[in-house]
Structure 1
Amino acid sequence: MVRRRWAVVVGVLAAAAGLLVAGPLTAPATAAPSIGINGITTLLDPPPSGANDWHCKPSDEHPNPVVLVHGLFANQAANWGYFAPLLARHGYCVFSLTYGRNPLAPPPLSQVGGLQPMQESAHELARFVAKVRDATGADKVDIVGHSEGSLMPNYYVKFLGGDEYVEHYVGLTPLWDGTRTLGLAELNNIAVQFGLGPGVGLVLAPLCGSCRQFLHGSPFLAKMNSDGGPAVDGVSYTMIMTKYDEAVVPYTSGRMDGEDATNIVLQDYCPSALSEHVAVGFDPVASQFVLNALDPNHARPVRCYPVGPKH
């Protein structure tokens, strides 16, 4: 029974990948240099408009390049069609990558990222940040991540020396305490109790090495929350959540404790904000919080947008 339910889970994840790959693609910006086998861009995954101009030099007003980090079963093209041009219009040098590709995955999973164990993806991100810093001459970068992209980069920050190179860290729909969606965390615990954990790992790992790491109580999250929590001294964190998150359950899993950590629930400021997990990556209310987090010295009041027709 447990194995049958895990087979269903794998099918659901594959279907979700297909939906995300079918999302809007944008025209490429200036082509980026090769970033390794798992980060090679393809015709179906160009950098979003506004991103990866490798000749961009940061201004005095915005000295930190912004690195956009997509979510699970997404890629740079599908995830950042809204935020990349927005940040570029505000004067930032913007860079994005597709990380964690699985070279053994069949289509459509071959066109999405985030599939490798997050420790491996963090090393890939570290190489990309080094490339960005080398190209721009910047001492530090800012990170804006969505879903897995709100979690995985902190492995780089906390365990790979990234705290030296990251100043502002913004997470959209984060999950520091993992997710319990569809009861998967409990199902995983049952599998472990019945000795099926290694078997489940053998089923999921070839397809998605990161999937079990998201679940509440996973060893990856235990390590991330060790030594006083995920927040790292010297990094300014802003976590942006939505009450309508159907992937991070409960949405409060995204809260971060820390001296320099700010937690924002969109509906606490704008009750009319209806964005769920994926839509936060295209949300004009969330974008205002992101801009304020990246430039807190020039923060502006957040404007709420009406939903539906006016009467």
Structure 2
Amino acid sequence: MRHDRGNSILFRTRLRGAATRSVTLVAAAGVLAGAAAAPAAAAAPAGSGGSGSSAAAAGSRTAAQERAVAAARKLELKGLINGINDWSCTPGGGQQPVVLVHGTFGFKKPTQAADRWSVMGKALKEEGYCLFALEYGTDWLGTMGVTDIRGSARQLSTFVTGVKAATGAAKVDLVGYSQGGLVARSYLKDEKGAASVDDFIGLGAPNRGTDTWLAWLGSFLYTAVNQMLPDSSFLQKLNQGGDLVPGVNYTMLAAPEDEVVSPYTSAHLSGPAARLTNADVPDHTNPEEPHTAFCANPLAVEWVKEALRSPGPAHPDFRPSGS
């Protein structure tokens, strides 16, 4: 098991923050999402990026659609920027709404939320996408992304149903970061989510688990972290019968320098090339903490845009500028 400088910094930072809640080992799980923030873009109020009235505007929704939207809005991640969670947004021609799924610990502070999704959010909003982000897996202490991943998948199901009802879209695209990739995969497989999803893009998702000493330590505290250990019963069931579900395009991005998801190839999946692209995305901007900065990595953002605009998964020969 490896222990790099970035992981050590994350451990010490989380350890100090946890003391205020008398949870002295909270950093052990926090490593799976990273507590260090990537540089934030200029903030804008949530909901400020609307593009007109929705195709399923409140006046034209059925009672069932209204209930679905209300249930989803209870799960929305607060403190975001760039018009994420604008429930009046109308998808552009040929686009699906994009649902962003955070990792372990999510975003406890508004500044962290802005940092994590600001770069990607700004880039996707400029492409005209309607963006939505949920909060899942929150425990009684208010810590996000730490409860049973299967329950988090059910929360994602509720959120996607509400996004579809709000926008009038038949399907959405999912972008899952770290544990968020496993939540998305569990939703696709266990909650029959494939009927509602066109593309799934994973960023540093521990599909085969992660083998670091901090993950093992954190597994004693949090169910979700325990489920991300190699050969956990959760992962065995999730990967049984093949990695892919019918009808969904998969683009799985991995950072070769990643020491949070170890080995980094755990972020890859297996399946036919027509429906799956595995790509290694180096981090030229923050090599010490590539997992933490994955969502803000300009090369990763370009890969996400490529996957969203492609008729299938991202083209395997795609090369972002600067790579």
- Whether TM-score is above 0.5 comes out as yes
Q: Cα 1:80–1:161, aligned 2, differ >3 Å: closer, same or farther?
A: same
Equivalent AA in structure 2 for residue 70 of structure 1: H
**Residue in 1 that maps onto 2:84:** 51
Offset from partner CA, 1:180-210 (integer Å, 9 cap, x none): 012755x89xxxxxxxxxxx75xx2xxx321
Corresponding residue SS for 1:150: helix
The runs of 5 or more residues in structure 2 that have no matched partner are 1-22, 51-68, 108-112
**Does structure 1 residue 215 correspond to structure 2 residue 229?**
yes
**Does structure 1 residue 30 correspond to structure 2 residue 44?**
no
**Residue in 1 that maps onto 2:184:** 153
Is 2:206–2:267's contact at 8 Å kept on the other side of the alignment? yes
**Does structure 1 residue 61 correspond to structure 2 residue 97?**
no
Q: Cα 1:88–1:37, aligned 2, differ >3 Å: closer, same or farther?
A: closer
Shift of 1:34: 5.5
Corresponding residue SS for 1:72: coil
Corresponding residue SS for 1:125: helix
Q: Percent identity?
A: 34
**Residue in 2 that maps onto 1:231:** 244
**Residue in 2 that maps onto 1:39:** 75
**Does structure 1 residue 295 correspond to structure 2 residue 313?**
no
Q: Distance in 2 between matches of 1:212 and 1:118?
A: 10
State the structure with bigger RCO (CA 8 A, min sep 6), 1 or 2: 2
Q: Distance in 1 between matches of 2:322 and 2:91?
A: 30
Corresponding residue SS for 2:164: helix
**Does structure 1 residue 265 correspond to structure 2 residue 280?**
yes
Is 2:84–2:133's contact at 8 Å kept on the other side of the alignment? yes
Q: Distance in 2 between matches of 1:282 and 1:20?
A: 14
The normalised TM-score by structure 1 is 0.76
Is 2:29–2:104's contact at 8 Å kept on the other side of the alignment? no
**Residue in 1 that maps onto 2:120:** 83
1:70 is matched with which residue: 79, 84, 102? 102
Q: Cα 1:17–1:292, aligned 2, differ >3 Å: closer, same or farther?
A: closer
Q: Cα 1:232–1:19, aligned 2, differ >3 Å: closer, same or farther?
A: closer
Equivalent AA in structure 1 for residue 45 of structure 2: P
The normalised TM-score by structure 2 is 0.74
**Residue in 2 that maps onto 1:281:** 295
Corresponding residue SS for 2:35: helix
**Residue in 2 that maps onto 1:124:** 155
Is 1:129–1:141's contact at 8 Å kept on the other side of the alignment? yes
Q: Distance in 2 between matches of 1:272 and 1:99?
A: 29
Corresponding residue SS for 1:143: strand
Corresponding residue SS for 1:81: helix
Q: Distance in 2 between matches of 1:183 and 1:114?
A: 16
Shift of 1:11: 4.3
Is 1:48–1:81's contact at 8 Å kept on the other side of the alignment? yes
Is 2:207–2:235's contact at 8 Å kept on the other side of the alignment? yes
Q: Which range moved further: 50-59 or 157-166?
A: 50-59
2:204 is matched with which residue: 173, 176, 182? 173
**Residue in 2 that maps onto 1:12:** 27
Shift of 1:98: 1.4
**Residue in 2 that maps onto 1:192:** none
How large is the Cα RMSD of the aligned pairs? 3.2
The runs of 5 or more residues in structure 1 that have no matched partner are 1-7, 189-199, 306-311
Corresponding residue SS for 2:304: helix
Q: Distance in 1 between matches of 2:159 and 2:199?
A: 17
Shift of 1:302: 1.3
